């Protein structure tokens, strides 16, 4: 089974802090994704990566950056955390290709910015 591991289930940080959310997958997937999940808004894509050191902005990249130095690891960075970034963050990975490959998700990190 594919395993996507997010480093923290719950995280509390202060406004202005630099926050790192880590995600590791064990299936050698080319694609990795960071989503934000908010009630009534569903999942919104922040950033995704299709290869090491390659990244593209999703729908809501403002205030975030990402890093993918190794294929199995994809990090989401909040440069200067703000209270409106309090949310559930989900990481996902998938195989590359043009078929119907599903995305595989981590357990999520519930981040609170005080």
Footprint on this chain of another protein (rule: CB under 8 A): 30-31, 33, 35, 40-45, 48, 50, 56, 58, 90, 94-98, 100-103, 105-108
Nearer to another protein, 55 or 81 (CB): 55
CB 25 → another protein: shortest distance, Å?
13
CB 20 → another protein: shortest distance, Å?
21
Half-sphere exposure (Cβ direction) of 108: Cα atoms closer than 13 Å:
11
Nearer to another protein, 34 or 81 (CB): 34
Give the 3-state secondary structure of residue 28.
Answer: coil
CB 97 → another protein: shortest distance, Å?
5
Nearer to another protein, 49 or 81 (CB): 49
CB 44 → another protein: shortest distance, Å?
8
Backbone angles phi, psi at 98, to 5 degrees: -105, 10
Using an 8 Å Cβ cutoff, are 75 and 66 in contact? yes
For the purposes of burial, counting CB atoms within 10 Å of the CB of 54, is it exposed (0-12), middle (13-18) or buried (19 or more)? exposed
Cα–Cα distance for residue pair 108/97, rounded to 1 Å: 25
């Amino acid at each position: 089974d594919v395993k996507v591991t997010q480093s923290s289930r719950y995280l509390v940080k202060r406004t202005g802090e630099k926050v790192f959310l880590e995600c590791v997958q064990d299936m050698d997937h080319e694609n990795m994704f960071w989503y934000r999940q908010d009630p009534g808004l569903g999942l919104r894509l922040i950033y995704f990566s299709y290869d090491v050191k390659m990244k593209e902005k999703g729908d809501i990249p403002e205030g975030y950056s990402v890093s993918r130095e190794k294929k199995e690891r994809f990090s989401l960075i909040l440069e200067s955390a703000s209270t409106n970034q309090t949310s559930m963050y989900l990481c996902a990975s998938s195989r590359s290709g043009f078929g119907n490959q599903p995305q595989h998700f981590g357990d999520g990190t519930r981040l609170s910015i005080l």
